[in-house]
Amino acid sequence: MAHTFLSDEWFAAVEALRDEAPEPSPAMKDLRLNITVSGGPDGDTEVHLAGGQFERGHVDDAPTKVTVPYDVAKAMFIDGNQQAAMQAFMAGQIKVEGDMTKLMSMQAAGSTPTPEQQAFQQKLRELTA
């Protein structure tokens, strides 16, 4: 069953897959990034990325905060469309506070996913409406 991206049901479904998640790339393993996804069906949603995993809420020790529109976040994190992220950034739709190099390392790490990461990405697509 597909769930709305970032809804409570979506987070529960992703959590159920957590044990199947592939090992993150070395650049993603130590990355901590706060993300505010704006304009979603339930309003703005705060999440953070830690060790290649999405978690709810922001964390105090993240060196970078990114604000990204809902549709761009979905394209980046569910569809794996890094071009959408770059276009949104160049158009001023993505706002970055803090250490920009952390965001750049995330983009570089996502550019060549392993077959295991691609398979897991497909599972995320299937459970996301």
pLDDT by residue (tens digit) across 53-101? 889 999 999 999 999 999 999 998 898 888 898 899 899 999 999 988 8
69 beta partners: 38
CATH number of the structural domain spanning residue 115: 3.30.1050.10
Q: Is the CB of residue 56 less than 8 Å from the CB of residue 47?
A: yes
Average pLDDT over residues 95-115: 76
Which residues form the domain of 66?
Answer: 8-127
Q: What is the count of structural domains for the chain?
A: 1
Query: The whole model's pTM is what?
Result: 0.87
Would you say residue 33 lies in a domain? yes
Would you say residue 85 lies in a domain? yes
Dist. CA 117–CA 119, nearest whole Å: 5
